[in-house]
Amino acid sequence: MAEQDQSGTTTSGTKRGVHGAWASRWTFVMAATGSAVGLGNIWKFPYIVGENGGGAFVLVYLVCILLVGIPIMVAEVMLGRRGRQSPINTMRYLTEEAGLHGAWNAIGWLGVTAGLMILSYYAVIAGWALHYVGQMASGAFQGASAEQAGAIFGNLLADKNTLIYWQTIFLLLTMAIVIGGVTKGLGVAVRILMPMLFVLLMILLVFSYKHGDFERGLNFLFSFNYQALTWEGVLEALGHAFFTLSLGMGAIMAYGAYMPEHARIGRTVLAVGFIDTAVALVAGLAIFPIVFANPAIEPGAGPGLMFVSLPVAFGNMTGGLLFGSFFFVLVTLAAWSSAISLIEPAVAYLVESKGFNRITANLSLGLMAWVVGLGSVLSFNEWADTRVAGFTFFEFMDFLTSSVMLPLTGLFIAIFVGWIMKPDTVREELDDESNRVFFSWRWVLRFVSPLLVLVVFVLGLYKTFW
C-alpha cells in the first residue's frame, strides 16, 4: 500500500482522502441535497414564490440557479474532489500545487468559519421545531386562535432555559451523526434521513390535498402572474438561488472531497439543484393549502408562518394534531441534515491537522457552537433590547454570515476556479464533460456568476444599512 503524506497525496501520486468516500454518487446527491434543504426551503421559498408572481418567479429563479448556483457549486465540488481534504487543507494543497500566494487559503477558512457560526444560531431555531413536535402532539394547539398560538410562541422565546435545552438536544443529535464518520455516520444518516423527509413531505401533501384549500394553494404558487414579478423579486430570486445550495460555507467542498473519483460532477450537481427546488415547491403545496383553509390566516414570512399560523391551521383541522406533529418532524429532519454539513468541514480539519479524533473534534466544536449560540438564545429574551449598530446578537450573526461571508466566499471560489487555476487542471477534473458543456460552464463562471454574486453582496449591504 502506498504511503500518504499530509497533503492527501500518496507517494505513488494518487490522491486519497483520509476520511473515506461516499458509497455511491447517489449518496453524495442525498448528502448535498440534505445540506441544501433546510428551514428556508420549508417556509421562505414557497412564500417568496407566491408573493412574486408564482410560476413567473420560479422561471426566473431557475435561470438564476443555472447562472449562479450550479456553476459555483460545480466549482466548489471540483475543488473538494481535487483536494480530498477539509476545505482549509484543500485550498492549501491547491494553492501550493499551482504555486499561488497563500492568501487564497482564505476561501477555506471563510467557509469553515461561516459554517460554524451558522450552526450556532441554526441549532437554536431548529430547537424550536423540536419543541413544537411535542407541543403539537400534546394538543397544545387544539382549537387554538392566532392570539393563543402567538402567546405560546412568545412564551417559548421568553424561556431561555427551554431554548437552551432544545438547542443542546439538537446539537447532540448533530454530533452523534458526524462522530460516525463519512461512511458509517454521514452516509448512513443521509440514506435514512432524506428518504424519511421525502416520505413525510408526501404524507403532508396528501393531507393538504384532502383537508386544505388545494386549488388556492396551487394558484398561489404556480399562476404565471408577471405583473407581480418586480425587479426586487428578480433580485430576491438571485439571492435565494445562491443561498439555497449551501454555497460558500465549506459544506459542499467537504462533501465533494468524499465524492467518488469517476462520478460526473456536472450531472450530479444538476440533480441536487433539481431535487432542492422540487422539495421547496412540494413543501409549498403541502403548507399553503392548509394555511388558506383557515380564512383568518394570511401567509406570512418568517417564524410567524411556521410557529404561529401553521399550528393554528393544524389545530383547527380534523387529524391536524397528528399531521402537525409530522410537519415539525419534517422541519427537524431538514434542519438536521443541514446541520451535519455545517460542522463536518471543521471536524475534518481538526482530524487532519490537529491530532483530534472524530469524537474529540465533534465535542470541541459542538461546545464552541453551543456557547456562541447562547448569544442567539438570549437575543430573544434577556438581551432583546441590547443592540450593537442596530443588531441583536442573533441578527448580527445572521447578517455577518449570510450578507458578508457567504457571498464573499462564493465570489472568491468563482474567481479562483475561473481565473486563477490553470485551465488544464480544471479540465482534468471535469474530463467527462463535452467541450461545449465545459467551455459554456467556464465562461459563465468567469463572467456571469461573479457579477451576479457581487450584486447579492452589495444588495445585502444596501438592504441592511440604507
- Cβ-based burial of 355 (10 A; exposed 0-12, middle 13-18, buried ≥19): exposed
Mean pLDDT of 457-463: 90
Mean pLDDT of 155-176: 97
Quick check: 114 pLDDT over 80? yes
What is the pLDDT, as a whole number, of residue 255? 95
HSE-CB for 428 with a 13 A CA cutoff: 8
Pairwise CA distance, residues 108 & 116, whole Å: 13
Mean pLDDT of 428-444: 95
What is the pLDDT, as a whole number, of residue 10? 35
Quick check: 2 pLDDT over 80? no
Q: Give one DSSP letter per residue of 293-327, joined into a string.
A: TSTT----SSHHIIIIIHHHHHHTSTTHHHHHHHH
**Model confidence pLDDT, tens digit, residues 66-105:** 999 999 999 999 999 999 999 999 999 999 988 888 899 9
Pairwise CA distance, residues 233 & 253, whole Å: 29
Quick check: 6 pLDDT over 80? no
What is the pLDDT, as a whole number, of residue 345? 97
Mean pLDDT of 119-123: 97
Pairwise CA distance, residues 296 & 143, whole Å: 13
**Model confidence pLDDT, tens digit, residues 229-252:** 889 889 989 999 988 899 999 999
Q: Picking from 79-88, 292-301, 390-399, which range would have the lowest pLDDT averaged per residue?
A: 292-301
Quick check: 202 pLDDT over 90? yes
What is the pLDDT, as a whole number, of residue 13? 37
Could you tell me the pTM of the whole model?
A: 0.93
Number of H helices, E strands in the chain: 24, 0
Q: And the C-alpha cell for 224? A: 404565471
pLDDT tier, 299 (very low <50, low <70, confident <90, very high otherwise): low
Q: What is the mean pLDDT of the chain?
A: 90
Residues 6+ apart with CB under 8 A from 267: none
pLDDT tier, 378 (very low <50, low <70, confident <90, very high otherwise): very high
List the chain domain ranges: 25-98+108-371
Quick check: 1 pLDDT over 60? no
